[in-house]
A and B are shown apart, each in its own frame.
Chain A
């Protein structure tokens, strides 16, 4: 009964470093999304996927890359970290069959120094 598993919980990066935030879901949902949460800004959509092999940009995609090779996994890559990417990141898996509901990972607090 894992739901959405997001790792790591915390990460500190130096400017210019790259890293991948992992996200996996075991509910066979087609829809998956990445959000970032900043104080006073709510959650803003970075990238999303409507199925394996299909990804698209959200509101704030610059500096991030995604891929969706399987239904279960949707990793988010920071190509060259910048201080402006200091944020809390959430992965979400969205049920579309029946009543729509989003299931969130536990969040990743990323600090770029």
Chain B
């Protein structure tokens, strides 16, 4: 079974600085999807960025980028020019390309990010 590990329960960053959130996962599959979700105090789950395992190129969405290391099974999220609105819980998630029971999202335990003005 696949697992997702986020080893940093809490992180803090100064406004306008850069922060990296770590995520590692375990799988025997060669093709899969990885996601970062943001959960602000409103509880809403917001997709930040996604990565397909077969793509070598790291995904980027504005100030958010990932460092995808397939061999190391690592999927870290870098937030550049941090803003107060980035303060939230961040979840790393894995999804198999297969269907059935493997088609569900598997989440890490989350990293709570605070942004200092």
Contact = CB atoms under 8 A, between A and B. Distances in A.
Nearest to B103: A31
Say which size band chain B's interface belongs to: 20 to 34
B104 interface: yes
A75 interface: no
A40 interface: yes
Interface stretch (B13-21, B73-81, B94-102): B94-102
Contact of B43 (A40, A88, A100): A88
A42 B91 contact: yes
A33 B104 contact: yes
Contact of A101 (B50, B99, B101, B103): B50
Given A42-B107, A48-B104, A107 B43 contact: yes
Contacts, number: 59
Interface string A10-29: 00000000000000000000
Contacts of A50: 99-100, 103
A69 interface: no
Interface residues of A, number: 26
A40 B9 CA distance: 8
B12 to A, nearest CB: 18
B84 interface: no
Interface of B: 4, 6, 9, 33, 35, 43-45, 47, 50, 91, 95, 97, 99-101, 103-110
Interface of A: 31, 33, 35, 40-45, 48, 50, 56, 58, 88, 90, 92, 94, 96, 99-102, 104, 106-107, 109
Given A40-B109, A42-B110, A102-B45, 10 more contacts: A31-B103, A42-B108, A45-B106, A50-B99, A90-B45, A92-B45, A92-B105, A104-B45, A107-B44, A107-B45
